Structure 1
Amino acid sequence: MTDHLADIKKYVETVDETVVAAMEKTYRLVLSKQDSASVSFSDPAELATVRENFLKKKLGVTGSDAELDAQIKQVGQQIHGRKDRLTVYYLLAEHYGKLDALK
């Protein structure tokens, strides 16, 4: 299994370890499958799922789809190599000031 905390620390100076532990528990099933443990930034349907299910439903982020899609794309460009789902979600939640929603 991926060391999610170490991966997130590559991109964030101070990581809330409580949030990461809660995310690992919440997304345990998704992370256990190789094809869903990372985000495919080349798949428009997957990016729409991140926008709709994570940003809008889980975090309660508002904004136009274009604005949210631009932020998702920016996170994808920030991460090098494999786009670990927890890293993507953590960076998006941090950007929107919504880390507490993941505890």
Structure 2
Amino acid sequence: MAPTLGRRSRSVVLGCGLAVVIPAVGCLPSGGFAMGVPRPQPNLNFTIGVEGVVWCKGCRACDASALLRCRHGRRALSVWGATNSRGYFLIQTGAQAAPFTSKDCRV
């Protein structure tokens, strides 16, 4: 009778141990990630502005024009700006410049 009691107590202890270990393993964080829903795109609503001066020693700078050209892949944007009587200009793009960064643009 003693060996049967020992077997029962071992199986009870083993059963209780498994009852604790199995839920604990289920609570561990998984290394995977959710599939199916892509991350939303960041809001890229900005404009690009350029301020500068055009001058030359032997000529007048009034009515000179400056060109801001942005290129990224197939997309391109060109914005012209005129200088004032002192040679200063300010070019600002509209909302259409959203796909470009300052690295994509040249004056």
TM-score, structure 2 length as denominator?
Answer: 0.23
Q: As a proportion of its length, which structure holds more helix? A: 1
Structure with the larger RCO, 1 or 2 (CA within 8 Å, 6+ apart): 1
Choose between structure 1 and 2: higher strand proportion. 2
